[in-house]
Chain A
Amino acid sequence: MKREVLEVDSVQYKVGDINLLTDVYLNCSSGEVVGILGRNGSGKSTLLQIILGEKKTYEKNIRINKQTYEEPFKAEKIAYLPQNSFLPIFLKLKKIIKLFLSSLEAQEAILKEEIIISNLDKKPDQLSGGERKLIEILCIMHLDAPFILLDEPFANLDPLIKDKIVSVLQKFSKLGKGIVIADHDYRNIIKVSDKIMLLKSGYCREIKDLKELESENYLPFGTI
């Protein structure tokens, strides 16, 4: 797979008079997993939606291989997993896969997954929350987009499903996908990420030593 680089630069976003994001910079390469941590309301989801190009803002610069994109999703360069389920509830999983994955190769690849095979005739609302999330992640990962943004993929899931998600992320990052994850589950984020960023007071900075998460008041002292 061709090595690609996603650069997110100068992202600013205001909610009313409050500066939610002030000059955010981050980058992610093919095969790299970038974990974004931050307290509730720090702007993690907003940042991911701005990177996707779905949320408008007055200042941002999204580059993929040095080419600037105003709305990267239109070029199918970036895919996004929202916090809540996005699968059409009126369709069966086999129809969803046919619609969502246009290439036959991707359809054949996803049909090798056990969780997909056993639920092909079910609709999304007939699946458990964990199964649905895992299936959504697999669908997103099989898209052609070189970069994947995941918004709280570990939220409200049991430990076994979380482990499966971790192994899916590791598998696809090895296959060359660039993955950006925002979540509060810091243990799994630390486990899966090559680089950890902390979003605080509108800025995003890289965490070199995990102890910084305590000194930055993200984790209680003594957690690490």
Chain B
Amino acid sequence: MVSMKKFIINDRFRKKELIKVKNKISLFNNYYKDIHFFNIPFSLIVGCLGVMKKGSVIFEMMDSFTTSMFSGGLLLSLYFFNTRYSNQYYFYINKGLSKWFLLLWCFSINFIIFIIYVVIKSNIL
């Protein structure tokens, strides 16, 4: 009987923790979308400018686009978000997500996308 009670309590605790983790993923997703509201159009422009380089049009465009997504485009987006909506960081801080956590995850995801692209490209060429 006691072990059954313990199991129920542990199960409830696990479910609560799972909801919290899901919630944090949704929060990060929202921040990521806000940041990329500027980053994606900006990086697309950079990608289009990359076409001017000699070589395959698609690869040159993708090179510039993916590089901008984790470097210049991301930095500019973060700068604009910091200057215009810096108070919105408290929305995430109140849910236990620090500013550095959000910034690092944004960078990491975009960098992983870049690495995947480089691997795919090197396999094709």
Checking B30, B34, B91, B96 against A86 with a beta-carbon cut-off of 8 angstroms, the contacting residue is: B91
A52-B93 contact in complex given A88-B30, A91-B30, A99-B26, C-beta closer than 8 Å: yes
State whether B20 touches A86 (Cβ < 8 A): no
Q: In the complex, what distance in Å separates the CA atom of A166 from the CA atom of B57? A: 63
CB proximity to A under 8 Å, residues B75-118: 85, 87-91, 93-96, 98
A80-B26 contact in complex given A85-B87, A86-B88, A88-B88, C-beta closer than 8 Å: no
Q: Which residues of A contact B22 (CB under 8 A)?
A: 102
The reply on B23 being an interface residue by CB < 8 A is: yes
Q: In the complex, what distance in Å separates the CA atom of A137 from the CA atom of B96? A: 18
The reply on B19 being an interface residue by CB < 8 A is: yes
Q: In the complex, what distance in Å separates the CA atom of A48 from the CA atom of B13? A: 31
Chain A 47-89 interface 0/1 with B at a Cβ cutoff of 8 Å (1 = within): 0000010100000000000000001011110011110111111
Q: In the complex, what distance in Å separates the CA atom of A87 from the CA atom of B30? A: 12
State whether A86 touches B87 (Cβ < 8 A): yes
The reply on B48 being an interface residue by CB < 8 A is: no
State whether B90 touches A86 (Cβ < 8 A): yes
The residue of chain B having its C-beta at the shortest distance from the C-beta of A87 within the complex is B91
CB proximity to A under 8 Å, residues B27-85: 27, 30, 34, 37, 85
Q: Which residues of B contact A91 (CB under 8 A)?
A: 30
Classify the secondary structure of B's interface with A: helix
State whether B90 touches A76 (Cβ < 8 A): no
Q: In the complex, what distance in Å separates the CA atom of A84 from the CA atom of B91? A: 12
The reply on A100 being an interface residue by CB < 8 A is: yes
Closest-CB distance, B80 to chain A (whole angstroms): 14
Q: In the complex, what distance in Å separates the CA atom of A82 from the CA atom of B93? A: 11
Q: In the complex, what distance in Å separates the CA atom of A74 from the CA atom of B98? A: 7
State whether B96 touches A99 (Cβ < 8 A): no
Among all A-B residue pairs, the 3 with the closest Cβ atoms: A102-B23, A86-B90, A79-B94
Besides A88-B85, A100-B91, A140-B94, 15 new A-B residue pairs in contact (Cβ under 8 A), listed by A number: A74-B96, A76-B95, A81-B90, A82-B87, A86-B87, A86-B89, A86-B90, A86-B94, A88-B88, A88-B91, A90-B37, A99-B23, A99-B26, A102-B95, A145-B94
Interface residues of A, Cβ cutoff 8 Å to B: 52, 54, 71, 73-76, 79-82, 84-91, 99-100, 102-103, 140, 143, 145
